[in-house]
Structure 1
């Protein structure tokens, strides 16, 4: 089975390459805004009288290059990719109005990035160097595993995206390769999601996941306050800004690493994962005063595509109706209607089983999915807890 993957590596451009990258970022943003303005004009005044396709946007791109000479200095395929992305977003919007309409890109709120296509006769990766069209050879750094993968003849490189994040440059290399399958375990798991930073994810096995980035958030808040007191572009300003970027990167990397490892462990140990319906409505605050929201839907999307990659015959992520699952005893099925939200541990009036509210909710939701075998443990008040993602005997 062929799958598309993206490998993100750190790159180290020289000063001339950094300057050209910045020009390319700005040119892609300029092309996006100019063509979007023309498409909006056509849609408002000539609705139904034109065809939205790549030929139309390529005509606009050619006109813009003739009107603005600085665009001829920029690598051409990155500008073409910008127009293609814009056409795709418009088509998706017309197909489903729930999708967001394309917006103008601003320098402040838009991520600096551009994407190059790849020529068949010139591979972009050779050893520990990345060869970009028009910008030459750039050193990159990543793990030995990824380095060997990028230099392997068994993969196909589709495109390379260059981006800047907090003063550092990265290359996201899109590859096409054969996907290995994981062994089926015959085990399944169900989760209860909590909208707070303490045990945001609880399984029917009693596993409680916590994630803490309070230190990074406190440092970011403190450095932002210090930065506001300094004169812009002064030496003290740049020094604090460099420290601030460091903590932004640390927080992002810590969060991405956590979600990737947790999703991989779940897919490796279980064949299906049960969640409640409409999880996008739940906001998990993990930053204290910063009120940073945990990327829950990004995490669930990771589970979906990893189940599809590694265990394509399983159903993967399954949704069930969460109504009364916290109040229903998973042992006898009795619904405790008088149970209050603040009560985290309760005793079933019928079977006298002591239950943890979140663990019981996960176990009840698992029983709602008919294809799953009942794998339930009961809450033990004397138990100190179970280490993450380890199934009890």
Structure 2
């Protein structure tokens, strides 16, 4: 099965490339913000909706008015407008909020098509640069990239993401299925009785992060010392995010490699994270990203991921006889079924019920509450 896949690698620009990238990021940000302001004002003042073609025509006059835009590749500016149009499409479809203005000190990025980059002898060249990017390759590309996205995070690291065609190969069929209950004390509890624990990446760096944030708050705004302190804080945040993503990738890969069918909960993470007492812990658990990774890795391996309905009473139902408690507070971690006298660990019992409901959903096309199963095949 052929599909698209992005290969993300870190690279280290030369001083000349740093200047070029800073100019490119700045011009892309300027065009995005200027056009967004123009489209917003046109709608609220005149009731006029500016189309993408009109925004592209306006780019010609912008280059005349602001000559510095000619210092970078025109492809970058054109792709910036296409990205903005995609943001508006997501807003109109209800998938995202209204597009926001890009900030100078946040993550910077720009996208290039084939007209603005080339690959020669394993080296990637971008427009306006005579030297190739010094990329630390971790793997070979599956094909020549169709587009390239260059980004710089708040910790000052540069990354290049190359979109390539990828030949996904089906993995051997395994006669094993698993149900996964997601939690906070243990991130993943399986129907086999295994508990993963929780590395709590944020808590691990919490004291150091708090110290650096206090130091940052004492620095004078606009000073070089404040910029240095801000970079230190950003690097700690990047370290936490990298640790979390690494653990999530390893866990999702292990589940897909070892199981033909993986059954998980369909959680409303966006709603759950509104709880002020648990928001930090839920965000650190990375549940949404874990399920997303399971889905696309299962699709590549031609395996199945089934999400059961979020209202299915997995914790309150006895996995032995089917008895359902009317109420089971979170403080109760173990309980005994009054019908069959089976002693249950709350989380393992939930994982068993998730597996049962998921497999039933595959068999009859519905989850435990009668709604259609979301299966990745």
| TM bin (shorter chain) | 0.7 to 0.9
Counterpart of 1:389 in structure 2 is none
Q: Is the 8 A contact 1:275 1:320 kept in 2?
A: no
In the alignment, structure 2 segments of 5+ residues that lack a partner are 364-377
* CA distance in structure 2 between the aligned counterparts of 1:103 and 1:289, rounded to whole angstroms: 24
Within the alignment, does 1:115 sit opposite 2:111 as a pair? Answer: yes
Within the alignment, does 1:70 sit opposite 2:68 as a pair? Answer: yes
- Cα deviation digits, residues 100-140 of structure 1 (max 9, x gap): 222222224x42111111249x733533x431111232211
| Aligned-partner SS, 2:319 | coil
Q: Is the 8 A contact 2:264 2:307 kept in 1?
A: yes
CA RMSD of aligned residues (A): 2.9
**Matches for 1:86-235 after TM superposition, within 5 Å:** 86-94=84-92, 96-108=93-105, 110-119=106-115, 123-124=118-119, 126-127=121-122, 129-136=123-130, 137-143=132-138, 146=139, 149-150=140-141, 155-165=143-153, 166-194=155-183, 196=184, 198-209=185-196, 210-213=198-201, 214-230=203-219
Counterpart of 1:83 in structure 2 is 81
| Aligned-partner SS, 2:192 | coil
2:329 corresponds, among 340, 355, 364, to: 340
**CA separation of 1:325 and 1:215: change in aligned 2, threshold 3 A:** closer
Counterpart of 1:18 in structure 2 is 18
* CA distance in structure 2 between the aligned counterparts of 1:316 and 1:17, rounded to whole angstroms: 43
Deviation at 1:344, TM superposition (A): 0.4
1:304 corresponds, among 284, 295, 298, to: 295
Q: How many residues align structurally? A: 355
Deviation at 1:371, TM superposition (A): 5.2
Counterpart of 1:57 in structure 2 is 55
Deviation at 1:13, TM superposition (A): 0.9
**CA separation of 1:30 and 1:40: change in aligned 2, threshold 3 A:** same
Q: Is the 8 A contact 2:4 2:165 kept in 1?
A: yes
**CA separation of 1:168 and 1:260: change in aligned 2, threshold 3 A:** same
**Matches for 1:323-334 after TM superposition, within 5 Å:** 323-334=312-323
**CA separation of 1:45 and 1:317: change in aligned 2, threshold 3 A:** farther
Q: Provide the TM-score with structure 1 as the length reference.
A: 0.81
**CA separation of 1:79 and 1:3: change in aligned 2, threshold 3 A:** same
Deviation at 1:200, TM superposition (A): 2.6
Structure having the higher helix fraction is 2
1:282 corresponds, among 262, 269, 272, to: 272
Deviation at 1:229, TM superposition (A): 3.2
- Cα deviation digits, residues 253-291 of structure 1 (max 9, x gap): 111111111111111112232233343233499x99966
**CA separation of 1:85 and 1:36: change in aligned 2, threshold 3 A:** same
**CA separation of 1:247 and 1:185: change in aligned 2, threshold 3 A:** same
Deviation at 1:227, TM superposition (A): 2.9
Q: Is the 8 A contact 2:268 2:310 kept in 1?
A: no
**CA separation of 1:98 and 1:11: change in aligned 2, threshold 3 A:** closer
**CA separation of 1:30 and 1:247: change in aligned 2, threshold 3 A:** same
